[in-house]
Amino acid sequence: QVQLVESGGGSVQAGGSLRLSCTAPGHADGLTYMYYMAWFRQTPGKEREGVAADEDGTTTYADSVKGRFTISKDNAKNTLYLQMNNLKPEDTATYYCAADPGADNDPFNPERYTYWGQGTQVTVSS
């Protein structure tokens, strides 16, 4: 079982930036074989929403974050990042890292990911 750990959340004002990180500290191979990874977010009462995905180097973004968020994976550091710029109050949510070694045709389908983190809170004030 691989446990993912997110970090980097916090509170910022609108227009600010945050960088989220995701690692697998208890897993000997880290994220090496996690070829399909994504960031999701969720607010109370709403479904988990795909924000950005990295499918073995091919990136996909939700329309709401295009041009503001960047997903990247540093294989040397075994870390997945989500750089979030020009944050808006509507970006406020708990952000989750997800990973799976296998492929699927929908990067934003949460059911396709086997491994998840516990979430990190991002709060953007106006």
pLDDT at 88: 98
The pLDDT value given to residue 55: 92
What's the sign of the alpha-carbon dihedral 116, 119, 120, 123? Answer: positive
What is the share, in percent, of the chain residues with pLDDT greater than 70? Answer: 100
What confidence tier does 59 reach under pLDDT thresholds 50, 70, 90? Answer: very high
Alpha-carbon separation of residue 27 from 17, 71, 93 (angstroms):
29, 22, 27
pLDDT of residue 17: 98
Asked if 19 and 8 count as a contact pair (C-beta separation under 8 A), the reply is yes
